[in-house]
Amino acid sequence: MVKINDRVFPVFNMTQVGTVVDLTFRATDMHLVGGAAQQRMYATIRLDKDGSLIQVPADETMRCE
């Protein structure tokens, strides 16, 4: 679980290291075996390289050590 101010990177693009500035929930249309998932958490990350903001699903991020 990531928190605001954690240093993280997206699992599928490890060169985009940054700091979490916001966590939001968005509706999703994902269907699972037990039913439909209602919401998914997204992390807004401020990149160290150029200061731009990206949004990545929070479960696709890892904390930097």
CATH number of residue 39's parent domain: 2.40.10
Domain that holds residue 28: 7-63
The answer to the question of residue 46 being in a domain is yes
Is 6 in contact with 63 (CB distance < 8 Å)? Answer: yes
Question: What are the beta bridge partners of residue 32?
Answer: 35
pLDDT of 48 strictly over 80: yes
Gap between the Cα atoms of 32 and 40, Å rounded: 13
Q: What pLDDT is stored for residue 28 in this prediction?
A: 81
The answer to the question of residue 2 being in a domain is no
Compute the average pLDDT of residues 33-57. 91
The answer to the question of residue 14 being in a domain is yes
45-56 in b/e form (b: 16+ CB < 10 A) is beeeeeeeeeeb
Please state the domain count of the chain.
1
The answer to the question of residue 15 being in a domain is yes
Gap between the Cα atoms of 50 and 48, Å rounded: 6
The answer to the question of residue 56 being in a domain is yes
The answer to the question of residue 1 being in a domain is no
pLDDT digits (tens, 9 = 90+) for 7-40: 999 999 999 999 999 999 998 877 778 777 788 9
Compute the average pLDDT of residues 33-58. 91
